[in-house]
Structure 1
């Protein structure tokens, strides 16, 4: 059974060549990854909808739904930031540029070294670690790859700023985060200048939206220090 709460470790291989899937699977399992497999684009789409994996290894020349179409669907229709590494026999510079334009995070040409693929996966996951996996505490569920937050099964309608604040607070439960630390996180993920008072305003709005679903705000103010998310 797939562990859907595994953070940063679930890899979906979308590849119609069974031998290549098996080779990648062997190396991935050795590295401790959870492995999902799909032999065509439509199956890959279903696996993404069902399991929301942390990273996708995507062949381009696939039956039923090709890799370019699947990549476009992930980014534009599924609205996911999940990392995508294209692994393909298409070697032209034009194909690579088109792959990156569609939203690929990396592009590997066949034939490949499995060790290099593992290294590329690790590098991509290091860059995208904050987007991977799901967080769940006391009725909350966050899906960073889709920017969605739920409480008691009901989706919270958050702005991008509010989601980023809730995300970093939930990643450090019961730990005081200063306004400077929260600002550093926002600066790292959003090109927009903000200040301490902006953080306070967004925290107020976030608490209000949480209280619409529950009697408790979960985000406590620690006077003179900052804020913390109370998970229990």
Structure 2
């Protein structure tokens, strides 16, 4: 069953075995993820820089550049905290410890159950949601770390608060959010500077900017309840 809060998140599968890649793509796509693939370390580095994915499923034994080197490159050279799940045939405790020292968020030993791996992906994404590099829906992409929002490749010019609003909506696709919930997601434990009465004005401005780029009404009002970002 698809978890709506995970729809639109980008997953990069780095695996040299095409059968395993295809199997994972089928399962991930079914769960609503946007899936990209790489079959060797060189392609993996190119895809990571191009896509800035929400999570990387990374085989350690890769042609050209090893998974260990890719992981080290992500953490040390890119200075990125994008979530990484390592796939490996090495089941020893020493290997697992080494994987975590390199910066992996989880470690899955082959052979594995695709269902179990989907659960691991969901669990990692839930606890690392703020580290997601990109959220993508049909024609709509947001890159939180870069402060970019794109519709059909064209950039939206948003205020800081409008960007936070959009990020909140896209992190909770197809879910009705009350004004109080929206403000809680935006401010978390920080002092609020916007009230639930004025948030309607900010949402109105955000919707107007989106409608300048596309006729689709992504943000809909649910009478008596709040607002909903329509992803599909």
TM-score range normalised by the length of the shorter chain: 0.5 to 0.7
> Aligned in 2, Cα 1:166/1:96: closer, same or farther, shift over 3 Å?
same
| 2:180–2:196 Cα contact (<8 Å) kept | no
Q: Which runs of 5+ in 2 are unaligned?
A: 1-5
Unaligned runs of 5+ in 1: 1-5
Per the TM alignment, residue 58 of structure 1 is displaced from its structure 2 partner at its CA by 0.8
Q: How does 1:184-203 map to 2 (within 5 A)?
A: 184-187=184-187, 191-194=189-192, 196-197=194-195, 200=198
Q: Which residue in the other structure is 1:167 paired with?
A: 167
Q: Secondary structure at the match of 1:121?
A: helix
Pairwise CA RMSD: 5.0
In the alignment, which residue of structure 2 is the partner of 1:134? 136
Q: Indicate yes or no: 2:57 matched with 1:57.
A: yes
Q: Report how many residues are paired.
A: 212
2:22 corresponds to which of 1, 20, 25: 25
Which residue of 2 is the match for residue 99 of structure 1?
102
1:148 and 2:151 are equivalent in the alignment = no
Match for residue 12 of structure 1?
12
Q: 1:84 to 1:168 in 2, by over 3 A?
A: same
Q: Deviations over 1:185-230 (max 9, x none)?
A: 125xx553325449958x759949x86xx69xx98999x9977889
CA–CA distance in 2 between the matches of 1:78 and 1:207? 35
Partner residue in 1 for 2:45: 45
**Structure 1 residues 192, 148: closer, same or farther in 2, change over 3 A?**
same
Q: CA–CA distance in 2 between the matches of 1:230 and 1:26?
A: 29
Does the 8 Å contact 1:10/1:53 carry over to 2? yes
Listed as ranges, the matches of 1:116-131 within 5 Å are: 116-127=116-127, 131=132
Q: Could you tell me the TM-score, scaled by structure 2's length?
A: 0.58
